[in-house]
Structure 1
Amino acid sequence: MLKRIFDIVVSLTALLILSPVILATAFITAINLGRPVVFTQIRSGKNGKPFKLMKFRSMTDERDEIGNILDDDVRLTDFGKKLRSTSLDELPSLLNVLIGDMSLVGPRPLLMEYVPLYDDFQKRRLEVSPGITGWAQINGRNSISWEKKFELDVWYVENQSFWLDIKILFMTVFKVFKRVDINGLDSQTVQKFAGSKKTL
């Protein structure tokens, strides 16, 4: 209950205080990438329940000659890279927190197609609401392997507390200003999870 109250108060306050930044980001995104400025995608929430995640767009909709969407690395623009490096693309997700789809802190919400690939240990990350930031984000973010991310996610599930959430939020602010661990190990975007050795 305390966590939910905290999520509502902080997300609502942040939306109000950051409204000029949100509007400016939306305007600049529209100029650079066109409309819609907000990207939505179905992700897995608590207990694997699907919800529609909201973020500012950072990619184009470019397709090949037969209509297939191009790889993320090709569609991610220089503007999109800067948007991600500042984490401004995450601001619309505060609405997800406000309405209860997400929490400020928790395992990152991943694609629904990943859920069947989780082993029993990895599924434990679904026991709590997903977060805008989390234990894995301040301990490597996109620079660590999928298996390590899941280990950190489950550690959070087993050790979550209000004070741990506060620590994670403060560390997230530090990471954002330092702009570290933004990209994946081998690309500007994160490689898709295809199942670990345990699940294949």
Structure 2
Amino acid sequence: MYDRFGKRLLDAVLAALLLGMLAPVFAAVALAVWWRLGRPILFVQPRAGRHGRPFTLIKFRSMAEGRAPDAERLSGFGRALRASGLDELPQLVHVLRGEMSLVGPRPLPLSYLAHYSARQAQGLRVRPGLLGPGVAAGRNEVAWPQRLELSADYASRPARLGRDLALAFRSLLVLLRGQGVSAPGHATMPAFAPSDHPRRGDKG
């Protein structure tokens, strides 16, 4: 029941409640972004949804406009915003509309799809999530091969309420600790590329 109907129903109800309860937080974050970074307040980018179908993801902007490297565009304010996870709050709208779930693999850029192995593509079998296995494991501290394997493993099994609750709890702990804002040696997370596939003999 949870896999077929309950998960989607719970997503819609909780997303609606959270959007109403967190309206003051939305307003405060939007004002802070406008004050520190100016317009636009929202970052907009096409992402891969369930079965690879594209949707336009929105989040609060955390970097300055321009073509400079991420390290130069990410200020202390932006880094703190990312660490808190508050920049992701607008994605509750996607959860309400059914484009995302509260728990699932994170939605990734469409350009990554062409580089997935058959196993990694299994992560597209479910709706992407606001929280989920990649976030619970440490967000951007987790290398691409492991991160995509976690997504594939999640999507290859029927949804279970207990597992989703555990992943949500662990994800929130990661966010509260401000963990995983960036990959080691990077300002954010480097783009996924074919070279990130594990080679034969690799244990990762």
TM-score, length basis structure 2: 0.90
Instruction: Report matched runs for 1:167-186 at 5 Å.
Output: 167-186=166-185
**Structure 1 residues 169 and 197: alpha-carbon distance in aligned structure 2, compared to 1, 3 A threshold:** closer
AA partner of residue 151 (structure 1)? E
Deviation at 1:75, TM superposition (A): 1.2
SS in 1 for 2:156: helix
Deviation at 1:168, TM superposition (A): 1.1
Q: Which residue of 1 aligns with 2:108?
A: 110
Contact 2:79 2:181 in 1 (8 A): no
CA distance in 2: counterparts of 1:123 and 1:5, whole angstroms: 26
Deviation at 1:198, TM superposition (A): 5.7
1:93-115 deviations in Å (ceiling 9; x for gaps): 11111111111111100000000
CA distance in 2: counterparts of 1:78 and 1:198, whole angstroms: 34
Contact 1:140 1:181 in 2 (8 A): yes
Deviating more after overlay: 159-168 vs 94-103: 159-168
Q: Which residue of 2 aligns with 1:66?
A: none
58, 71, 74: which one pairs with 1:73?
A: 71
Is 1:43 the counterpart of 2:47? The answer is yes
Deviating more after overlay: 11-20 vs 168-177: 168-177
Q: Which residue of 2 aligns with 1:94?
A: 92
CA distance in 1: counterparts of 2:138 and 2:34, whole angstroms: 31
Deviation at 1:169, TM superposition (A): 1.2
SS in 2 for 1:110: coil
1:43-64 deviations in Å (ceiling 9; x for gaps): 00001100000100001112xx
CA distance in 2: counterparts of 1:140 and 1:81, whole angstroms: 16
SS in 1 for 2:56: strand
Is 1:25 the counterpart of 2:23? The answer is no
CA distance in 2: counterparts of 1:24 and 1:152, whole angstroms: 34
**Structure 1 residues 59 and 5: alpha-carbon distance in aligned structure 2, compared to 1, 3 A threshold:** same
Q: Which residue of 1 aligns with 2:64?
A: 60
Deviation at 1:165, TM superposition (A): 0.8
Deviation at 1:140, TM superposition (A): 2.3
Contact 1:183 1:190 in 2 (8 A): yes
Equivalenced residues, count: 193
Q: Which residue of 1 aligns with 2:161?
A: 162
CA distance in 2: counterparts of 1:190 and 1:197, whole angstroms: 16
5+ unaligned residues in a row in structure 1: which ranges? 63-68
AA partner of residue 12 (structure 1)? A
Q: Which residue of 1 aligns with 2:81?
A: 83
Deviation at 1:164, TM superposition (A): 0.8
1:12-54 deviations in Å (ceiling 9; x for gaps): 1111111111100001110111112111100000011000001
CA distance in 2: counterparts of 1:147 and 1:52, whole angstroms: 25
SS in 1 for 2:133: coil
Contact 1:144 1:185 in 2 (8 A): no
CA RMSD between the two structures = 1.3
AA partner of residue 46 (structure 2)? I
Contact 1:102 1:131 in 2 (8 A): yes
**Structure 1 residues 59 and 3: alpha-carbon distance in aligned structure 2, compared to 1, 3 A threshold:** same
Deviating more after overlay: 21-30 vs 175-184: 175-184
